[in-house]
Structure 1
Amino acid sequence: MRSIGISPKGEDAGGSWGLGKWVFPDASKLNAFLGVTRRAGERRFLLMGQTMLKLHELGGRKYPPVGFFAAGSEAEDRDWLPMPVESAGPGPGDAGSAEGVGAAFVHAAMRDFGLRPGGEPGTSVVIPHPKDELTDPVNLARAAIRQYFHPVITGDLVVEIASPGEPLRRIDAETIVDEALRTGDGAGDDPEQRAEALIRAIELARWGQRQEDGFVEADGRRKQPVIAPDQVENLRTGLGEGRRLAFRVKSRVRGKPNSFKLFLEGDSSLAGGHDYYVRGHLHIPQMDYLTRHHARALIVVDNTSDLGHLLRDAEGPAHEKWRADAPRLKERGWPNAAERVREVQNAAARILEALAEKPADVRRDALSDLFPADTGGRRGPGPGRPGPTPVPPEKKPALRIDQVPGGFRLKPGGNGDPTGRNFAVRMAYDVARGTTNTAFSRFDAGLRAGCPDFSLRNGQLQVQPEDCEAEVTSENEFQLRVRGSDFSLGVTGFDERDLVVKVLPVESEIAEIREPEAGAP
């Protein structure tokens, strides 16, 4: 009732921001809620409530924004702490005594709101004047299935929804599939949230629950092979034949071994991959790293492990996404936290890439015996061949690339005024062996596998244009249009690896096609 923004939970709990309780007042048109609780080992019930208003003034007196529904007092508000109204026992009590008045009031309130006075210890929350979307039992059932399907199938959560004029909805491990079919799809559902997709994910999770042995050891660390080479062919065959695969993916946190579970199945009917991430009992919904594979993956992280604690700190108050750049990771002193987060995010895509059929090698000289010609190889000037063309003196570039922490910054390079010019800027991490083209080919391979090294589209990188415009055209490329002679554009959010940046001018005639004429819609 009082600790907004404060959480007493330990590391193994789901939340940690102290803001999850805000869902109760936020669910009410009055920003109000009541709570009735019976604690373990006690027979009495406690009743309390509150409303979250604005700082307000009434009759010339200023009042704080939080108003409590609680036991009253004759003292001034500033001199007393709101306490719950309590009952002395399980029954209504004697209305003629002070304790009886409180007991009668508590039990009358419970009866009026349809609460059951008996049963196990626990807490009931009453939302007066709920928002309209919360009065639809179908909406409530759909939200419960989407956000908590994993604790439901493990038996840790049972949801009952009672609505006037409708039969009771009970969502548990046995009924969740039927209830998902009953609720159907919502308006504007993305493919992973539709009923059919959730049912497939639930079936994969159920299968995973039954797996005790048979896990394939995988390694999530970027510099290690994700699967042992001698297992690849057998796993590739199994995935192609429609078998589900279970992996235990290794990681290390603070020098200690950690792991998480990954369950995988192919599905040729999918337009893009579907991946579901679960930490403890929480489904992390805004994670989409399997876009280019026809497969479904479920990643389950033990909430009590060091990796689970790290990922908990990578979440925001809404617990919607694991962010490699979350401020809490640095505040809590997690070493190599960004790399650990990306390992979990990209594990399914890396495994699928390893199991994909090896592409045919390109042989540029395959027909050289039949069609002898210059294939671009380096040959010296023999008889009748011209010598090397003299290299003209190097000109200053149109743009200059300066290194900054976590990225780079583009500025004028000194070769004329770049105002009004257009450039294509492409980026990739450098490779230990190979050319610049090798670096870009490696990035493209990761993109096809659904696990690019970085992306301009998902908020991982920050673009700061000044006196210029940047239009993202792919995960690692954007179009730059210079508006002023002193422009600059910074791109940050990269990891510690060396970066290759290619800047190419775009012909003005081509660029002008993209510019609408004056007055055009």
Structure 2
Amino acid sequence: MQLHFQEIRPGDVEQELTQKDQFDTDKVPLTATLVREALQNVMDARAPDFDQPLRVRIAFHDSTADPEFWQELFTGFRHHLEASGVSIEGIRLDAPRFLLIEDFGTTGLRGATEERDEREFSDFWRRVGKSHKSSGKGGSWGLGKLVFPVSSALRCFFGLTIRSDDGSRSPKLMGQTILSTHVLDDKRYVPHGFFCDLGQDGIQVPVFDDGTVERFRRATGLARTDQPGLSIAIPFPREEITGEALIPFVIEHYFFPILTGELIIQIGDETISAGTLEQLAERYPAPVLKDGYMIAFIKALDASRTADAPVNVPDGWDSSAGLEAVLDAALVQELRARYLRGELLHFRLPIACNSIAEGRLTGSFDVFLQPAPAGASPVPLFIRNSITVPNEASYFTNPQVFAAVVASDKVVSSFLRDAENPAHTSWNGRAEKLMARWRTPGSTLPKIRHSARKLDQLVGNSENIIDPDALISLLNIPRPATAKKRKVPNPISPPSPTPPEPTPRPYRIIPNVGGFTVKGAGESAISEMPMSINVRMAYAIARGDAFKRYDRNDFSLAGATDIRIQADGATSQPAADNVLLIEADAPDFSVTVSGFDPNRDVIVQSNRVRA
């Protein structure tokens, strides 16, 4: 095993990996990103025949027993580091300290090792920002794996894998460094280098030699022998990465699979499991677990999943008729009575996801609701394959109810995985991967997002509150001179001597040539996020109600017309031929609708929808 860099050929395009900066920010520190990215792929890579809790070992090891091994391995590496501007002052390359992250019960990195294919080994070692995961399983290893070299002072890491489909249980060892484009001895090199052997055509291949693998395993302190999974060894971890620093983020991001018995994590001498998490949460407070109520809710939820006796909601619940149209009236009354008593309700909802490759696929997901006791501070949970997607919590806003939307079904998990942002913190109805694999995803995702809110409204006997805004005429039609003014009745009571300050509008509508823009108010709208807005539009007419006399031959948002929609900080989808539903996440969001006939007047009506 040696270090290999490829030279840049005269016609090659140079490209730096600028995404490295996103893994350590003021808002999300490196320790949090490392925990979330490493464990997310573990949760997605469970071996199909493994029915025990997944286990992850995180440890630190000082390698002092075999300095000759590291001197041989790092020969020449020092010069590439210096040429890339990486300081190694004070670092002894012959005595590295290692951060170890090992998972057990997973598939390992399957697939071809001596050529590219569309499986995990190639995704992990030979691709950045692209994966081939489907069906919600398999560990994607897209951009997330960049967190490993970012965590190293040497910008490198090693991986040893044993694959679940390999009967020989032969370990495969490889390493990678990601520096910058650099010049050494008058030769220009790409950022990526590999600690590996070379196969045909110079492709980087893992080391199979038992002697080298065993020497590496002993020198790094890896625990893996013949168990399937992946072991990551990061030399010279950055000083802020310690066991004490990692534990709080493990609890914060992975409390759900830990409490439901799907994951056990060992960090140093500390075991984080369903039996120990509640006690550890007192020592390492996580906002979502600041009282014991959330833990009790998750345990009750898990017991309900085990019993598997949900209220099966019939097809059609997501139609315009709503939930009450498909559920028996007597059942609804019974559910309301149980809800009033504070019981946990478990629903299973079917949903169709339209795959471009496979056609219409029917899946399901679960919703759990339980009124919170006095003093509790519920945080809504949106779960995909036991992974919490925290930013989706904004789509359930009842502060008196525990709510969880849990997607473990193969179809729905795959759909939602394609909708996730790179940080796995939110779903995007217009994500590139989602749009490439699914038809009309922008209409499917809101049904999942808003399901808990709609069920809570049903069993809590609450209703949507619609705050209609004023009718806005983008290009006003002059009022006829003979038009009579409507009489305004006298107020019942005199106005307050000190009228309240007007509430700032969280958004406004700006006319453009051939269209309009719905624009967020910026800082004054932060408290209103996320925000749902229904926007109706029609061509103005001289008499009568323009909306009642709307003709889809004029234009149609859902049809093949010239109407164009561009959104930033929001998602949008046609709710009808002349109705646009906007889901705004950013306070300075912008949705521009253009392509109307510039010779005709357009009027727009917006309705704010509140949960």
TM-score when scaled to structure 2?
Answer: 0.53
C-alpha deviation, 1:265, in angstroms = 0.8
User: In structure 2, which of residues 551, 558, 570 is the aligned counterpart of residue 460 of structure 1?
Assistant: 570
Aligned to 2:388: 283
Deviation at 1:66, TM superposition (A): 1.2
CA distance in 1, matches of 2:310, 2:237: 48
Task: Report the equivalent of 2:453.
Answer: 349
The match for 1:237 is 337
SS of structure 1 residue aligned to 2:455: helix
1:18 is aligned, of 142, 147, 158, to: 142
Please give the secondary structure, in 1, of the residue aligned with 2:348: strand
Counterpart CA distance in 1 for 2:130 and 2:591 is 35
Other structure's SS at 2:145 match: helix
Structure 2 residue aligned with 1:169, among 258, 261, 270? Answer: 270
- Give the Cα separation in 2 of the matches to 1:23 and 1:49: 14
Name 2:484's counterpart in structure 1: 391
Secondary structure at 1:11's aligned position in 2? coil
Structure 2 alignment gaps of length 5 or more: 1-124, 355-359, 464-481, 487-508, 520-531, 538-544, 547-567, 573-582, 595-602
Offset of residue 129 of structure 1:
1.9
Separation in 2 of the partners of 1:427 and 1:141? 40
Distance 1:67 1:358, change over 3 A: closer
Aligned match of 1:330? 435
- After superposition, the Cα gap between the structure-2 partners of 1:193 and 1:402, relative to the gap in structure 1 and judged at 3 Å, is farther
Query: In 2 relative to 1, CA 8–401 (structure 1 residues): closer, same or farther, beyond 3 Å?
Result: closer
Per-residue CA deviation, residues 142-172 of structure 1 (Å, 9 max, x unaligned), is 323333334334444321111xxxxx22223
- Cα pair 1:33 1:127 within 8 Å, conserved: yes
The match for 1:207 is: 303
Paired AA for residue 336 in structure 2: R
Shift of 1:16: 4.4
Shift of 1:348: 0.9
Amino acid at match of 2:423: A
Residues of 2 paired with 1:236 and 1:30: CA distance? 60
Q: 1:258 to 1:85 in 2, by over 3 A?
A: closer
Candidates 152, 162, 181, aligned match of 1:28: 152
Paired with 2:203 and 2:362, the residues of 1 have a C-alpha distance of: 48
Instruction: Report how many residues are paired.
Output: 373
Deviation at 1:331, TM superposition (A): 2.4
2:304 partner letter: G
Structure 1 counterpart of 2:206: 84
Is the contact made by 2:169 and 2:227 (CA closer than 8 Å) also made in structure 1?
no
Alignment of 1:147-162 (within 5 A): 147-162=253-268
Residues 133 and 221 of structure 1: is their aligned pair in 2 closer, same or farther, counting only changes over 3 Å? farther
Q: CA deviation at 1:19?
A: 2.1
Q: Please say if residues 38 and 44 of structure 1, whose CA atoms lie closer than 8 Å, have aligned partners that are also in contact.
A: yes
**Alignment pair present for 1:46 and 2:181:** no
TM-score (norm 1): 0.61
The CA RMSD over aligned residues, in Å, is: 4.1
Find the counterpart in structure 1 of residue 506 from structure 2.
none
- Asked if structure 1 preserves the Cα contact closer than 8 Å seen for 2:159 and 2:230, the reply is yes
The structure whose RCO (Cα within 8 Å, separation 6+) is larger is 2
Shift of 1:342: 0.6
Letter matched to residue 125 of structure 1? I
- How far does residue 277 in structure 1 lie from its aligned partner after superposition? 1.1
Q: 1:31 to 1:344 in 2, by over 3 A?
A: same
The equivalent position to 2:221 in structure 1, one of 79, 92, 114, is 114
- The one-character-per-residue Cα deviations of 1:281-334 (angstroms, maximum 9, x if unpaired) are 3221211212234111111112412x3322222212222111223233332241
Q: How much identity, in percent, do the aligned residues show?
A: 28
Task: Decide whether aligned partners of structure 1 residues 427 and 34 sit closer, same or farther in structure 2, where only a CA change above 3 A counts.
Answer: closer
Q: Take 1:217 and 1:48, find their aligned partners in 2: how far apart are those partners? A: 49
SS of the equivalent of 1:158 reads strand
Give the match for residue 297 of structure 1.
403
Larger Rg: 1
For 2:427 and 2:258, locate their aligned partners in 1 and report how far apart those are by CA, in whole Å. Answer: 22
| Separation in 2, partners of 1:427, 1:122 | 47
Instruction: Say whether the 8 Å CA contact 1:290–1:349 is kept in structure 2.
Output: yes
Look up the match of 1:184.
Answer: 285
Distance 1:329 1:401, change over 3 A: same
Deviation at 1:180, TM superposition (A): 2.9
Bigger shift: residues 113-122 or 275-284? 113-122
User: Residue 309 of structure 1 corresponds to which residue in structure 2?
Assistant: 414
Following the alignment from structure 1 to structure 2, what is the Cα–Cα distance between the partners of residues 274 and 493?
35
Match for residue 223 of structure 1 among 320, 332, 339: 320
User: Is the aligned partner of 1:127 residue 2:234?
Assistant: yes
Contact 1:262 1:298 in 2 (8 A): yes
Q: Retained in 2: the 8 A contact 1:427–1:499? A: no
Distance 1:492 1:133, change over 3 A: farther
Q: Distance in 2 between matches of 1:354 and 1:274?
A: 20
Give, in angstroms, the shift of residue 272 of structure 1: 6.6
Match of 1:250 in 2: 350
Aligned with 1:130: secondary structure?
coil
Which residue of the other structure, out of 516, 519, 538, is the alignment partner of 1:408?
A: 516
Distance change >3 Å, CA 106–CA 338, structure 1 → 2:
same
Cα distance between partner residues in 2 of 1:272 and 1:339: 31
Deviation at 1:409, TM superposition (A): 3.7
Gaps in structure 1 of 5+ consecutive residues: 89-102, 163-167, 360-388, 394-398, 412-425, 437-457, 463-473, 480-488, 503-521
Q: How far apart in 1 are the matches of 2:198 and 2:427?
A: 45
1:350-499 equivalent positions in 2, closer than 5 A: 350-357=454-461, 391=484, 401=511, 408-409=516-517, 428-429=534-535, 459-460=569-570, 491-492=591-592
1:366 match: none
Give the AA of the match of 2:218: R
Shift of 1:260: 0.9
